[in-house]
Structure 1
Amino acid sequence: AILADGSITWEQTLQQICDEYIGLDCNGFVGNWLRLLQPDLKLTPNHRADEVRTKALHYRTRLDQIEYWDLMCYTHNEHIAAVDDRSPAPGRFMVCQSAGGGPRRNEFAFLQTGTRTFQLAAPTPQDIGYQFYVISLW
């Protein structure tokens, strides 16, 4: 229906599709996923990392506690991403995010930096290399 709407420009069409289904920024990307996956949390694509973190049931305090579908909420609210899976190598995880370069899934090694904080071991220039909390909403 959005593509067939002749009353809006192609830019407005693209924006509507991204807002509703994809989410080009990190909040939109993770927010759309959470909205569909767990609607009772009442999280939207506009919720930032700190707001999502208020719903945390668990904070991960060690690398071996991190699980599928945990969220990476950056400590200064600058980014949010999702852990898609553990890699076979210890301390490595598949991360779904939208950062520089758009939505993607990549493997990263995590380093523990504090009691409840972690950091990517070797972020690329397109990744956000600051500290983050890993939380579970379930």
Structure 2
Amino acid sequence: ESHGQDIRALVVGGKVVAAMRRKAHGSEFRSNFHLGGSVERVEISDRYAEIACTAARTLGLDLAGVDMLESHSGPLVLEVNSTPGLEGIESVVGEGFVAAEVARLLNRRLEESRGNSEESKSTEMTGAGSEASGIYD
């Protein structure tokens, strides 16, 4: 059904930031860019994006390359890569695009961590949230 092509969706922080169609070279059935396959940027449907994000989330991945086959019954997950090759995707979205998306994710997580850390300090200082009884209670 795949005819030597698939869709690679790049998921960063729970959202698809880029997608490409990969086509195999010649009689090769694998559509990998590093095997000489060609790539083109594509806009994927909400259904494809939902499946890609669900696959990454199920595996606990903040960064994932989700490879899907385009079948008559809809998208089929072929593979989920925790360390996806970025050369192909960057050739269609521009060099540095993926790095910028990952940097945004890291900054967001750092801010969330700082916020949680500040809440923890506040709780420790006031004793709020503690169920332990003090000696003077």
What's the TM-score, normalizing by structure 2? 0.27
Greater Cα radius of gyration, structure 1 or 2: 2
Between structures 1 and 2, the one with greater helix share: 2
What's the TM-score, normalizing by structure 1? 0.27
